[in-house]
Amino acid sequence: MIRNAWHFCYVLRLMFKVVYGGFGIALFRPAGR
Task: Give the pLDDT band of residue 31 (cuts 50, 70, 90).
Answer: low
Q: Rounded to whole angstroms, how far apart are CA atoms 31 and 33?
A: 6
Summarised one tens digit per residue, pLDDT across range 9-22 is 999 999 999 988 88
Q: Rounded to whole angstroms, how far apart are CA atoms 18 and 14?
A: 6
- Flag whether pLDDT at 30 surpasses 80: no
pLDDT at 25: 80
What does the DSSP assignment read for 1-33? -HHHHHHHHHHHHHHHHHHHHHHHHHHHS-TT-
The pTM for the full model equals: 0.51
Domain tally for the chain? 1
Which structural domain range is residue 25 located in? 1-33
